[in-house]
Structure 1
Amino acid sequence: MRFLVRDRLLGLGDDHWIEDDQGTKVYLVDGKAMRVRDTFELKDTRGRVLIDIHQKMFTLRDTMVIERDGEPLATIRRKRLSLLRNHYRVALVDGTELDVSGKILDREFAVEYDGELLAVVSRRWLHVRETYGVDVVREDADPALLIAVGVCVIHLAEKEREEG
Protein backbone atom coordinates (compact mmCIF):
# COMPACT_ATOMS: atom_id res chain seq x y z
CA MET A 1 0.00 0.00 0.00
CA ARG A 2 1.39 3.36 -0.99
CA PHE A 3 0.40 6.69 0.48
CA LEU A 4 1.22 10.25 -0.53
CA VAL A 5 2.10 12.50 2.40
CA ARG A 6 2.62 16.26 2.17
CA ASP A 7 5.89 17.43 3.62
CA ARG A 8 6.08 19.53 6.80
CA LEU A 9 2.91 18.29 8.48
CA LEU A 10 3.68 19.31 12.03
CA GLY A 11 2.99 22.83 13.22
CA LEU A 12 1.12 24.00 10.13
CA GLY A 13 -2.24 24.42 11.79
CA ASP A 14 -4.11 23.48 8.64
CA ASP A 15 -5.84 20.35 7.45
CA HIS A 16 -5.07 18.22 4.41
CA TRP A 17 -5.58 14.71 3.09
CA ILE A 18 -3.20 11.78 2.75
CA GLU A 19 -4.13 9.82 -0.37
CA ASP A 20 -3.43 6.28 -1.50
CA ASP A 21 -1.67 5.61 -4.80
CA GLN A 22 -5.06 5.65 -6.59
CA GLY A 23 -5.72 9.23 -5.44
CA THR A 24 -8.39 8.18 -2.91
CA LYS A 25 -8.49 10.22 0.29
CA VAL A 26 -7.59 7.88 3.16
CA TYR A 27 -6.52 9.94 6.18
CA LEU A 28 -7.21 13.53 7.21
CA VAL A 29 -4.36 15.36 8.91
CA ASP A 30 -5.76 17.82 11.43
CA GLY A 31 -2.96 20.19 12.40
CA LYS A 32 -3.46 21.82 15.75
CA ALA A 33 -2.58 25.52 15.63
CA MET A 34 -1.63 27.68 18.58
CA ARG A 35 -0.20 24.90 20.72
CA VAL A 36 2.97 25.06 22.79
CA ARG A 37 4.20 21.79 21.33
CA ASP A 38 3.97 20.37 17.82
CA THR A 39 0.88 18.18 17.53
CA PHE A 40 -1.56 16.77 15.03
CA GLU A 41 -4.26 14.15 14.68
CA LEU A 42 -4.57 11.56 11.96
CA LYS A 43 -8.27 10.89 11.27
CA ASP A 44 -10.14 8.45 9.07
CA THR A 45 -12.51 9.63 6.35
CA ARG A 46 -15.38 9.81 8.85
CA GLY A 47 -13.45 12.15 11.16
CA ARG A 48 -12.63 9.57 13.82
CA VAL A 49 -9.18 10.17 15.42
CA LEU A 50 -6.89 7.20 14.74
CA ILE A 51 -3.56 8.59 15.90
CA ASP A 52 -2.52 11.58 18.00
CA ILE A 53 1.08 12.76 17.72
CA HIS A 54 2.79 15.27 19.96
CA GLN A 55 6.22 16.27 21.11
CA LYS A 56 7.10 15.13 24.61
CA MET A 57 7.98 18.11 26.75
CA PHE A 58 10.81 18.38 29.29
CA THR A 59 13.02 15.54 28.06
CA LEU A 60 16.81 15.55 27.67
CA ARG A 61 16.57 14.27 24.10
CA ASP A 62 13.86 15.31 21.68
CA THR A 63 11.07 12.75 21.79
CA MET A 64 7.79 12.33 19.94
CA VAL A 65 4.85 10.36 21.34
CA ILE A 66 2.19 8.56 19.31
CA GLU A 67 -1.10 7.84 21.07
CA ARG A 68 -4.18 5.85 20.09
CA ASP A 69 -7.48 6.31 21.95
CA GLY A 70 -5.76 8.53 24.51
CA GLU A 71 -3.24 5.82 25.42
CA PRO A 72 0.48 5.88 24.54
CA LEU A 73 1.30 3.62 21.60
CA ALA A 74 4.92 4.51 20.77
CA THR A 75 7.82 6.76 21.71
CA ILE A 76 10.32 7.89 19.08
CA ARG A 77 13.81 9.29 19.59
CA ARG A 78 17.21 9.26 17.93
CA LYS A 79 19.15 6.13 18.78
CA ARG A 80 21.52 7.02 21.61
CA LEU A 81 24.68 5.10 20.73
CA SER A 82 24.48 5.30 16.96
CA LEU A 83 27.35 6.67 14.91
CA LEU A 84 24.79 7.48 12.26
CA ARG A 85 22.76 10.62 12.86
CA ASN A 86 19.96 9.16 10.74
CA HIS A 87 19.04 6.25 12.99
CA TYR A 88 15.95 6.35 15.18
CA ARG A 89 14.35 3.92 17.61
CA VAL A 90 10.60 3.45 17.96
CA ALA A 91 9.62 1.85 21.27
CA LEU A 92 6.08 0.46 21.21
CA VAL A 93 4.29 0.07 24.54
CA ASP A 94 4.20 -3.72 24.13
CA GLY A 95 8.01 -3.82 24.22
CA THR A 96 8.47 -4.14 20.45
CA GLU A 97 11.15 -1.93 18.93
CA LEU A 98 11.28 -0.66 15.37
CA ASP A 99 14.42 0.68 13.70
CA VAL A 100 14.31 3.62 11.32
CA SER A 101 17.39 4.36 9.26
CA GLY A 102 18.42 5.99 6.02
CA LYS A 103 18.58 9.52 4.67
CA ILE A 104 15.82 11.02 6.81
CA LEU A 105 16.19 14.62 5.61
CA ASP A 106 16.14 13.42 1.98
CA ARG A 107 12.95 11.41 2.68
CA GLU A 108 14.71 8.15 1.77
CA PHE A 109 14.57 5.71 4.69
CA ALA A 110 13.18 2.39 5.91
CA VAL A 111 11.23 1.19 8.95
CA GLU A 112 12.17 -2.31 10.10
CA TYR A 113 11.23 -4.75 12.82
CA ASP A 114 13.87 -7.33 13.76
CA GLY A 115 15.56 -6.94 10.37
CA GLU A 116 12.29 -7.30 8.42
CA LEU A 117 11.18 -4.39 6.24
CA LEU A 118 7.81 -2.89 7.22
CA ALA A 119 7.74 0.34 5.20
CA VAL A 120 9.83 2.51 2.90
CA VAL A 121 9.61 6.29 2.80
CA SER A 122 10.74 7.76 -0.49
CA ARG A 123 10.40 10.64 -2.93
CA ARG A 124 11.89 8.63 -5.80
CA TRP A 125 8.63 7.31 -7.25
CA LEU A 126 6.81 10.65 -7.00
CA HIS A 127 6.79 13.70 -9.20
CA VAL A 128 4.74 15.88 -6.88
CA ARG A 129 6.64 18.68 -5.11
CA GLU A 130 6.56 18.86 -1.32
CA THR A 131 5.31 15.26 -1.13
CA TYR A 132 6.85 11.93 -0.21
CA GLY A 133 5.52 8.41 -0.36
CA VAL A 134 5.09 5.86 2.39
CA ASP A 135 5.10 2.36 0.94
CA VAL A 136 3.79 -0.10 3.56
CA VAL A 137 5.39 -3.40 2.55
CA ARG A 138 3.80 -5.87 4.98
CA GLU A 139 0.12 -6.68 4.59
CA ASP A 140 -0.45 -6.99 8.35
CA ALA A 141 1.28 -3.70 9.22
CA ASP A 142 -0.64 -0.71 10.62
CA PRO A 143 -0.46 1.99 7.89
CA ALA A 144 -1.59 4.83 10.19
CA LEU A 145 1.13 3.97 12.71
CA LEU A 146 3.85 3.72 10.04
CA ILE A 147 2.82 7.05 8.49
CA ALA A 148 2.95 8.61 11.97
CA VAL A 149 6.41 7.10 12.58
CA GLY A 150 7.69 8.59 9.33
CA VAL A 151 6.30 12.02 10.14
CA CYS A 152 7.81 11.96 13.65
CA VAL A 153 11.26 10.88 12.50
CA ILE A 154 11.37 13.59 9.83
CA HIS A 155 10.28 16.20 12.37
CA LEU A 156 12.95 15.12 14.89
CA ALA A 157 15.71 15.09 12.23
CA GLU A 158 14.76 18.56 10.98
CA LYS A 159 14.65 19.94 14.51
CA GLU A 160 18.09 18.48 15.25
CA ARG A 161 19.48 20.01 12.05
CA GLU A 162 18.09 23.45 12.98
CA GLU A 163 19.58 23.26 16.47
CA GLY A 164 22.96 21.91 15.35
Structure 2
Amino acid sequence: MKQLYIKQRVFALSGKFTVKDQQGNDVYYVEGSFMQIPKTFSIMNMTRDEVALITKKTFSFLPKFFVEVNGQERLTIKKEFSIFKARYTIDGTGIEIRGNWWDMDFQLLQHGEVIGQVNKVWFSWGDSYKVEILDEEMETVVIAVVVAIDCVKADQAAAASSGGSA
Protein backbone atom coordinates (compact mmCIF):
# COMPACT_ATOMS: atom_id res chain seq x y z
CA MET A 1 0.00 0.00 0.00
CA LYS A 2 1.23 3.47 -0.89
CA GLN A 3 0.08 6.74 0.69
CA LEU A 4 0.03 10.02 -1.18
CA TYR A 5 -1.13 13.46 -0.10
CA ILE A 6 -2.81 16.20 -2.09
CA LYS A 7 -2.88 19.72 -0.70
CA GLN A 8 -4.19 22.50 -2.83
CA ARG A 9 -3.12 26.07 -2.35
CA VAL A 10 -6.16 27.99 -1.22
CA PHE A 11 -5.62 31.11 -3.31
CA ALA A 12 -3.86 29.66 -6.38
CA LEU A 13 -5.62 31.18 -9.39
CA SER A 14 -3.88 28.91 -11.87
CA GLY A 15 -4.78 25.71 -10.03
CA LYS A 16 -1.19 24.50 -9.55
CA PHE A 17 -0.45 22.02 -6.79
CA THR A 18 1.55 18.88 -6.11
CA VAL A 19 0.89 15.34 -4.93
CA LYS A 20 3.39 14.27 -2.28
CA ASP A 21 4.49 10.98 -0.77
CA GLN A 22 4.71 10.22 2.97
CA GLN A 23 8.14 11.84 3.19
CA GLY A 24 6.86 15.08 1.64
CA ASN A 25 8.56 14.55 -1.73
CA ASP A 26 6.75 15.66 -4.89
CA VAL A 27 5.41 12.71 -6.88
CA TYR A 28 3.02 14.42 -9.33
CA TYR A 29 2.51 17.98 -10.51
CA VAL A 30 -1.00 19.23 -11.32
CA GLU A 31 -1.56 22.33 -13.44
CA GLY A 32 -4.94 23.78 -14.26
CA SER A 33 -5.51 25.95 -17.28
CA PHE A 34 -6.12 29.58 -16.40
CA MET A 35 -8.62 31.62 -18.43
CA GLN A 36 -8.71 28.92 -21.11
CA ILE A 37 -11.58 27.11 -22.78
CA PRO A 38 -12.00 24.23 -22.27
CA LYS A 39 -10.84 24.18 -18.64
CA THR A 40 -8.26 21.42 -18.18
CA PHE A 41 -6.07 19.95 -15.45
CA SER A 42 -2.89 18.22 -16.50
CA ILE A 43 -1.27 15.69 -14.16
CA MET A 44 2.44 15.18 -14.76
CA ASN A 45 4.99 12.79 -13.29
CA MET A 46 8.40 13.77 -11.89
CA THR A 47 9.91 14.22 -15.36
CA ARG A 48 6.98 16.51 -16.29
CA ASP A 49 5.47 13.98 -18.72
CA GLU A 50 1.68 14.22 -18.80
CA VAL A 51 0.15 11.04 -17.37
CA ALA A 52 -3.47 12.21 -17.06
CA LEU A 53 -5.71 14.98 -18.37
CA ILE A 54 -9.04 16.21 -16.99
CA THR A 55 -11.16 18.27 -19.37
CA LYS A 56 -14.41 20.08 -18.64
CA LYS A 57 -16.81 19.83 -21.56
CA THR A 58 -17.68 23.28 -22.84
CA PHE A 59 -21.14 24.42 -23.85
CA SER A 60 -22.91 21.68 -21.95
CA PHE A 61 -26.24 22.22 -20.19
CA LEU A 62 -24.96 20.32 -17.15
CA PRO A 63 -21.26 20.11 -16.18
CA LYS A 64 -19.37 17.13 -17.58
CA PHE A 65 -15.70 16.20 -17.06
CA PHE A 66 -13.63 13.71 -19.05
CA VAL A 67 -10.66 11.94 -17.44
CA GLU A 68 -7.90 10.54 -19.66
CA VAL A 69 -5.04 8.46 -18.30
CA ASN A 70 -2.05 7.78 -20.54
CA GLY A 71 -3.99 9.03 -23.56
CA GLN A 72 -7.06 6.81 -23.02
CA GLU A 73 -10.40 8.07 -21.75
CA ARG A 74 -11.02 6.24 -18.48
CA LEU A 75 -14.10 7.86 -17.02
CA THR A 76 -16.63 10.64 -17.23
CA ILE A 77 -18.06 12.63 -14.32
CA LYS A 78 -21.34 14.31 -15.09
CA LYS A 79 -23.89 16.27 -13.15
CA GLU A 80 -27.39 14.86 -13.24
CA PHE A 81 -30.49 17.04 -13.30
CA SER A 82 -31.87 17.39 -9.77
CA ILE A 83 -33.88 20.07 -8.06
CA PHE A 84 -32.69 20.01 -4.46
CA LYS A 85 -29.16 18.63 -4.18
CA ALA A 86 -26.29 18.37 -6.68
CA ARG A 87 -25.99 14.80 -7.91
CA TYR A 88 -23.18 13.46 -10.06
CA THR A 89 -22.56 10.13 -11.73
CA ILE A 90 -19.26 8.56 -12.66
CA ASP A 91 -19.05 6.33 -15.70
CA GLY A 92 -15.84 4.46 -16.37
CA THR A 93 -14.16 1.29 -17.42
CA GLY A 94 -15.22 -0.80 -14.45
CA ILE A 95 -14.47 2.00 -11.97
CA GLU A 96 -16.95 2.62 -9.18
CA ILE A 97 -16.88 4.92 -6.17
CA ARG A 98 -18.41 3.98 -2.83
CA GLY A 99 -18.78 6.36 0.06
CA ASN A 100 -19.27 10.08 0.35
CA TRP A 101 -17.29 11.45 -2.56
CA TRP A 102 -18.68 14.94 -2.04
CA ASP A 103 -16.92 15.06 1.36
CA MET A 104 -13.84 13.28 -0.06
CA ASP A 105 -14.30 10.14 2.03
CA PHE A 106 -14.63 7.21 -0.36
CA GLN A 107 -13.17 4.04 -1.87
CA LEU A 108 -12.44 3.45 -5.55
CA LEU A 109 -13.23 -0.01 -6.83
CA GLN A 110 -12.50 -1.67 -10.14
CA HIS A 111 -14.59 -4.74 -10.87
CA GLY A 112 -15.43 -5.02 -7.16
CA GLU A 113 -11.81 -4.81 -5.92
CA VAL A 114 -10.71 -1.81 -3.85
CA ILE A 115 -7.88 -0.03 -5.69
CA GLY A 116 -7.72 3.13 -3.60
CA GLN A 117 -9.15 5.02 -0.68
CA VAL A 118 -9.48 8.77 -0.13
CA ASN A 119 -9.97 10.65 3.12
CA LYS A 120 -10.11 14.39 3.66
CA VAL A 121 -7.56 15.63 6.18
CA TRP A 122 -9.38 17.87 8.64
CA PHE A 123 -8.01 20.93 10.41
CA SER A 124 -5.75 21.96 7.54
CA TRP A 125 -5.52 25.19 5.56
CA GLY A 126 -7.09 24.49 2.18
CA ASP A 127 -8.27 21.15 0.91
CA SER A 128 -5.96 18.28 1.83
CA TYR A 129 -6.56 14.61 1.06
CA LYS A 130 -4.83 11.39 2.04
CA VAL A 131 -4.91 8.94 -0.85
CA GLU A 132 -4.12 5.29 -0.17
CA ILE A 133 -3.19 3.29 -3.26
CA LEU A 134 -3.96 -0.41 -2.83
CA ASP A 135 -3.31 -1.41 -6.47
CA GLU A 136 -0.17 0.45 -7.54
CA GLU A 137 -0.87 -0.27 -11.23
CA MET A 138 -3.93 1.97 -10.85
CA GLU A 139 -2.10 4.80 -9.04
CA THR A 140 -2.43 7.34 -11.87
CA VAL A 141 -6.12 6.54 -12.32
CA VAL A 142 -6.78 7.01 -8.59
CA ILE A 143 -4.93 10.34 -8.51
CA ALA A 144 -6.75 11.50 -11.66
CA VAL A 145 -10.14 10.62 -10.13
CA VAL A 146 -9.36 12.54 -6.92
CA VAL A 147 -8.23 15.62 -8.86
CA ALA A 148 -11.27 15.37 -11.17
CA ILE A 149 -13.72 15.15 -8.26
CA ASP A 150 -12.03 18.09 -6.58
CA CYS A 151 -12.33 20.01 -9.87
CA VAL A 152 -16.05 19.18 -10.00
CA LYS A 153 -16.46 20.40 -6.41
CA ALA A 154 -14.58 23.64 -7.13
CA ASP A 155 -16.69 24.20 -10.24
CA GLN A 156 -19.88 23.64 -8.22
CA ALA A 157 -18.71 26.03 -5.49
CA ALA A 158 -17.85 28.69 -8.08
CA ALA A 159 -21.26 28.29 -9.72
CA ALA A 160 -23.02 28.57 -6.35
CA SER A 161 -21.10 31.69 -5.34
CA SER A 162 -21.69 33.43 -8.67
CA GLY A 163 -25.39 32.62 -8.51
CA GLY A 164 -25.85 35.58 -6.24
CA SER A 165 -26.98 35.62 -2.68
CA ALA A 166 -29.65 38.23 -2.17
TM-score, normalization by structure 2: 0.74
Asked if 1:150 corresponds to 2:146, the answer is yes
Q: Where does structure 1 lack aligned partners over 5 or more consecutive residues?
A: none
Identity %: 22
The 5-angstrom pairing of residues 10-29 of structure 1 reads 12-29=13-30
Give the conservation status (yes or no) of the 8 Å contact 1:87–1:100: no
Give the deviation of 1:27 after TM superposition.
0.5
Q: 1:112 to 1:12 in 2, by over 3 A?
A: farther
Q: 1:4 to 1:17 in 2, by over 3 A?
A: same
TM-score, normalization by structure 1: 0.75
Q: 1:68 to 1:87 in 2, by over 3 A?
A: closer
Q: 1:87 to 1:110 in 2, by over 3 A?
A: farther
SS at match of 2:28: strand
Give the conservation status (yes or no) of the 8 Å contact 2:40–2:55: yes
Give the deviation of 1:157 after TM superposition.
4.3
RMSD: 3.1
Give the conservation status (yes or no) of the 8 Å contact 1:87–1:101: no
Q: 1:99 to 1:8 in 2, by over 3 A?
A: farther
Give the deviation of 1:40 after TM superposition.
1.4
Give the conservation status (yes or no) of the 8 Å contact 2:8–2:18: no
- Per-residue CA distance 1:106-145 (angstroms, 9 max, x = gap): 2211111232211111025x764321111111233x2122
